[in-house]
Amino acid sequence: MNQYGFTLGGPIRRNKTFFFLNYEGLRQLEDFTQAGFVPSATLRAAVLAKSPQLAPAIAAYPKGNTNFGVCNDPVNDPCVDEFIHEAPN
């Protein structure tokens, strides 16, 4: 959380007119955890049997335990070479 501000004031004419300026700001970021539900293959089949018109919506989401490519192994990962480079001397 960041809370900041400033105040400025002073006379314009001696003992007659004054000015005063005040500003306050507050910045607050909140983290949250979001939980999701991944339907099993049995549930997907049951939903499609009852409502075949939902097939495009169900197909848009991946099935559980989906392998998204070869970039999952931290030891033998070929994708690491694309992101980690040795610094020159």
Mean pLDDT per segment of 10 residues, for the chain of length 89 residues?
Answer: 91 89 90 73 83 83 61 60 60
Give the separation between CA 50 and CA 58, rounded to whole angstroms. 13
Give the separation between CA 49 and CA 72, rounded to whole angstroms. 34
pLDDT score for 6: 94
State whether residue 70 is helix, strand or coil. coil
pLDDT score for 40: 75
pLDDT score for 51: 86
Give the separation between CA 38 and CA 45, rounded to whole angstroms. 13
Whether residue 8 contacts residue 15, with contact meaning beta carbons closer than 8 Å, is answered with no
